[in-house]
A and B are shown apart, each in its own frame.
Chain A
Amino acid sequence: MTDEMNTNPPVEAGLEMFQDTMEEFLAAADVRVVYGEPIQHDDTLIIPTAEVLCGLGFGVGSGSGTSADENPDKPSQGSGSGGGGGGRILSRPVAVVVASPEGVRVEPVVDITKIALAGLTALGFMVGMMFRMSSRRHALPTIEE
């Protein structure tokens, strides 16, 4: 038995856990994530498709101190380790593949809410520019002869 504190096992365990999480994260690049389970409806088969955006990040750290036995001038210091991480997955339907005896076609999925929001933003941008330009013109001093 030694008084020396070993900080490696928790850090390694943490790293292993993070590596496992990273491997699971990399599975998001699979084709099956984008193309959903086919839905059979009479003679027609529908395959939903979605766009997947996945981000992940983590970090671990550790520190160790000194013992009073080794250096009597300094008080005993401990050690510790910690880690943290975060991630987010965004998924959005893009289209559906419709396969029927007549043929195969791709039907797009249109998100009206997002389009309306983008339209309002663009309109607001233009109106804001107009307002800014007209107010700047009114603010100019008039030259009297």
Chain B
Amino acid sequence: MPTIEREIRTGETMQVGNFQITPKTNVLKIQLPGHRAGLIWNRPKAVTVRTSNGQESTLPVRDVTRLVIWSMLAGGLLGAILIGRMYRND
């Protein structure tokens, strides 16, 4: 059975002016038995920003391109189904 692992990794904190930035990533690891094949999908998740007065906020890193592409493909599929139904009803 392949091993599927998902984890959130935190990088080193960077000091930029009055801000401390900590990057976070979302890692998906798939390893086949025997460790002879595998797949790693590593993508940015968020950055945690800490100000000098202790305020902490998390800024999510959104993949706009992927969001738009999947929305378009879902819209196309839905449109095709609707067209099919419309023609059938006529």
Contacts and interface: CB of A to CB of B under 8 A. Distances in A.
A72 interface: no
A5 interface: no
Given A94-B43, A133-B87, A22 B38 contact: yes
Interface residues on A, range: 35 or more
B16 A126 contact: no
Interface residues of B, number: 49
B1 interface: no
B80 A125 contact: yes
A38 B83 CA distance: 49
Contact of A130 (B23, B39, B43, B83): B83
Interface string A21-63: 0100110111111110010000101010111111111110000
Nearest to A124: B76
Contact of B9 (A31, A58, A95, A99): A31
B44 A49 contact: yes
Contacts of B65: 92, 94, 108-111, 114-115
